[in-house]
Structure 1
Amino acid sequence: MTVLALIATYATYVVVWSWYAAQLVSVLLGLWALLDAAVRPADHFIAAGRRTKGFWLGVTGAATAVLVLTGNLLDPGAAVGGFGMLGLLGVTAAAVYLTDVRPALNVYRPVRVRSRLRVVRGTTQSRPRRRRDWGRH
């Protein structure tokens, strides 16, 4: 009987900490979406045809607020059952922004150009320089 009680105890710990990790990851996902939406220029949203910047700031801000308020991040022992349907909606809103809107906005990101070429020496693809003696045989 003690072996079964020990297995049940450790299984409970695994479930509690996995729920806690899922809630922590979802809050980080919401924060990432909110900060990314805040940093992007407003004209990129219009050019990409993905609503407005204010709309996505509102959606990702509400999603992050719901994720922070529904998750029991300060008490890992109470993490089970605190997420619910609102938490799922918050994760979905953040995931929609990160998987649909963000790639569309990346098209309008400025292109960085290097100012000089970098010469890599000592690799197998570089050819050794040979002296040329023009006209001497």
Structure 2
Amino acid sequence: MGYITYINLLNPLWWLSVGIILFKGFAFVDAAIRRDGAYRDADKKTKTFWLVLLGAALGLDLLFGANFIGSFLTLGGLVAAIVYMVDVRPAIKALTGGRGGKNDRRNMGPYGPW
């Protein structure tokens, strides 16, 4: 193991940067697996909007590094990922029953869920 790699592994800011990149990656993948109609049904922005926004945020961090102390791009992308995870994702999951691609109606009775 090289000297630079060893120092990075001991640096808590490096771990925080890796966590930010993983969080943005999870948000992007989650947005990609949700069906397009669920975004409209939940009265949120379109799937394309979220994929472009989250993909740009992730791509910029992968290209330039997640420097959350001095980079407004990293912080802006992190805010976008947080908004997706706490607002858009729960609304879509409520409509699709927690499933990504289709509306699973296994626990639906004639008058609603049971």
Common fold by TM > 0.5: yes
Deviation at 1:112, TM superposition (A): 3.9
Alignment counterpart, residue 16 of structure 2, candidates 7, 15, 22: 22
Report how many aligned residue pairs link the two structures. Answer: 93
The equivalent residue for 1:7 is: none
Q: Secondary structure at the match of 2:88?
A: helix
80 and 36 in structure 1: CA distance in 2 versus 1, 3 angstrom threshold: closer
The equivalent residue for 1:38 is: 32
Deviation at 1:18, TM superposition (A): 1.1
What per-residue deviation string (whole Å, max 9, x for no partner) do you get for residues 87-121 of structure 1? 111111111111110000011123444xxxxxxxx
Take 2:60 and 2:18, find their aligned partners in 1: how far apart are those partners? 13
What per-residue deviation string (whole Å, max 9, x for no partner) do you get for residues 64-96 of structure 1? 112222326xxxxxx796x62211111111111
Residue 62 in structure 1 maps to residue 49 in structure 2? no
Runs (4+) of structure 1 exceeding 3 A deviation are: none
Which has a greater percent of helix? 2
Which amino acid is the alignment partner of residue 90 of structure 2? Answer: P
The equivalent residue for 1:4 is: none
Cα-Cα RMSD: 2.4
Contact 1:38 1:57 in 2 (8 A): yes
Structure 2 segments unaligned to the other structure (5+ residues): 1-6, 97-103, 108-114
Identical pairs, percent? 32
Bigger radius of gyration: 1
Structure 1 segments unaligned to the other structure (5+ residues): 1-12, 73-78, 114-137
Take 2:12 and 2:94, find their aligned partners in 1: how far apart are those partners? 36
TM-score, normalization by structure 2: 0.71
Contact 2:24 2:81 in 1 (8 A): yes
Q: Secondary structure at the match of 1:107?
A: helix
TM-score, normalization by structure 1: 0.60
The equivalent residue for 1:123 is: none
